[in-house]
């Protein structure tokens, strides 16, 4: 049986960031990803926004990881020439009641350490976004966008250069705690591709669960049934090329009061396309990206108050992603990230409910997890 210091389950942006952070310090680090390539889950099915940290309750892990992750991500992207843009964003309001909500958001952001926030008037909005209708807006200068694919590739390359082994098409199917290790059983190959499947067991001193939507199932393999992840689909449309001039940067409505999502927003990407979305709807299955997609008219309805001239003929359907929510359907509130050593099997580190702002937070999460790994491997 092979031995490892660390086995990371899941090769999304979080798993890859963790692989980079822990392989700086330890040898025999393995990352295991079931898909043919890294980052095929939520990590490349999102808005690519580098969030500032204005939304999350002060003191929460989401607030701390987002604000710190924002800083680390800009530094990392500049150092490694990863395509990104610190373009700032506007959160818009249509009347004085909504302006008061912008003030609350700004106060919350300041409490989280976000700087440069200020409320601007209609003329200032028009100067930046001539086609946007708003009475007021909150300017958030530290928001930006990043190429998630390039970020993941760079993290993976550095982890490999530092000696980590990154295995794709390999699935973790069993986790068995032993006296001073966890036996991790892997199945290599893809049955749907006609591959010959092979099974192997690695004895790991530490297991890090970065399995995204499936993190509850990985925790359950260790006997921990405290968590349940509810998949919430976010669908996008895209402005047709001829209309992409309508938006210069990022424009958001006020977030949903129930905490479900930030609301359908407008995102100019690094490739000069403009995304409209994502929506937020609970779905029954974690693999259900496409069934019963919303009609284009629904995106027009949600974006119209921000961008009055938008018409159905300006939009085409784009991709969708699935959020790993800890809040069940019918309940309101923001659940915090869970990042902790398992209570029953403390040589396992659980990362559960890593929904937005997980992309922004990935480098800060990785540093935090590396400290927990240090406790396990001391």
Give the C-alpha separation, 40 to 47, whole Å: 14
Q: Does 263 bind ligand FAD (CB under 6 A)?
A: no
End-to-end CA distance of the chain: 23
Six token digits for residue 368: 């935090």
Task: Specify the DSSP element, H or E, that contains 200.
Answer: strand 198-209
- Please, which residue, 99 or 149, has the CB nearer to ligand FAD? 149
Count of residues touching ligand FAD (by CB under 6 A): 41
At 213 the three-state DSSP class reads: helix
Task: From 96-104, 177-185, 342-350, 353-361, give the range in contact with ligand FAD by CB under 6 A.
Answer: 353-361
Give the C-alpha separation, 267 to 276, whole Å: 7
53, 109, 144, 212: residue in contact with ligand FAD (rule CB under 6 A) = 212
Going by their DSSP bridges, the two strands 265-268 and 84-85 should be labelled as unpaired
- Please, which residue, 35 or 160, has the CB nearer to ligand FAD? 35
User: CA of 239: how far to CAs of 83, 134, 243, 318, in Å?
Assistant: 22, 20, 6, 10
Task: From 77-85, 195-203, 252-260, 317-325, give the range in contact with ligand FAD by CB under 6 A.
Answer: 317-325
With a CB cutoff of 8 Å and minimum separation 6, the contacts of 301 are none
357, 363, 364, 373: residue in contact with ligand FAD (rule CB under 6 A) = 357
Across-strand partners of 6?
29, 206
- Please, which residue, 246 or 359, has the CB nearer to ligand FAD? 359
In the numeric block, the tokens 């710190």 are attached to 68
Q: Does 15 bind ligand FAD (CB under 6 A)?
A: yes
Going by their DSSP bridges, the two strands 2-9 and 250-252 should be labelled as unpaired
With CB atoms as reference, the residue minimizing the distance to ligand FAD is 358
Task: From 10-18, 57-65, 90-98, 252-260, give the range in contact with ligand FAD by CB under 6 A.
Answer: 10-18
Ramachandran region of residue 66, left (φ > 0), alpha (ψ -120 to 50) or beta?
alpha
Contact characters 23-62, ligand FAD, x per CB under 6 A: ---------xxxx----xxxx-xxxxx-x-----------
- Please, which residue, 92 or 232, has the CB nearer to ligand FAD? 232
Residues 181-210 that bind ligand FAD (CB under 6 A): 210
Binding region for ligand FAD (CB under 6 A): 9-15, 32-35, 40-43, 45-49, 51, 171-172, 210-214, 218, 234, 278, 321-323, 354-360
């Amino acid at each position: 049986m092979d031995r490892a210091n660390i086995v990371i389950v899941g090769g999304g942006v979080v798993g890859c960031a963790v692989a980079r952070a822990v392989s700086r310090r330890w040898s025999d680090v393995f990352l295991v990803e079931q898909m043919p390539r890294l980052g095929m889950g939520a990590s490349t099915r999102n808005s690519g926004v580098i969030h500032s940290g204005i939304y999350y309750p002060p003191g929460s892990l989401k607030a701390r990881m987002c604000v710190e992750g924002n800083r680390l991500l800009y530094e990392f992207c500049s150092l490694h020439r990863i395509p990104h843009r610190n373009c700032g964003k506007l959160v818009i309001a249509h009347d004085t009641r909504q302006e008061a909500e912008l003030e609350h958001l700004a106060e919350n952001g300041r409490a989280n350490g976000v700087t440069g926030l200020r409320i601007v008037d209609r003329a200032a909005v028009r100067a930046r976004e001539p086609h946007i209708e708003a009475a007021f807006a909150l300017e958030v200068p530290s928001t930006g966008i990043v190429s998630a694919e390039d970020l993941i590739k760079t993290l993976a390359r550095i982890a490999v250069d530092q000696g980590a082994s990154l295995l794709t098409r390999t699935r973790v199917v069993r986790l068995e705690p032993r006296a001073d290790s966890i036996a991790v059983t892997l199945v290599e190959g893809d049955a749907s591709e006609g591959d010959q499947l092979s099974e192997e067991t690695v004895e790991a001193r530490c297991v890090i669960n970065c399995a995204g939507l499936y993190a509850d199932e990985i925790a359950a393999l260790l006997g921990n049934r405290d968590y349940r992840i509810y998949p919430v689909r976010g669908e996008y449309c895209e402005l047709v090329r001829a209309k992409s001039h309508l938006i210069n940067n990022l424009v958001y409505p006020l977030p949903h009061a129930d905490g479900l999502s930030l609301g359908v927003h407008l995102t100019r990407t690094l490739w000069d396309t403009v995304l409209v979305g994502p929506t937020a709807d609970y779905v029954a299955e974690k693999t259900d990206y496409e069934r019963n997609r919303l009609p284009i008219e629904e995106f027009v309805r949600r974006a119209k108050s921000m961008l009055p001239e938008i018409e159905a003929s300006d939009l085409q359907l784009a991709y969708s992603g699935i959020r790993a929510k800890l809040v069940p359907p019918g309940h309101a509130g923001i659940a915090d990230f869970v990042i902790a050593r398992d209570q029953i099997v403390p040589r396992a580190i659980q990362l559960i409910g890593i929904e937005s702002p997980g992309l922004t937070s990935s480098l800060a999460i990785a540093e935090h997890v590396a400290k927990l790994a240090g406790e396990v491997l001391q």
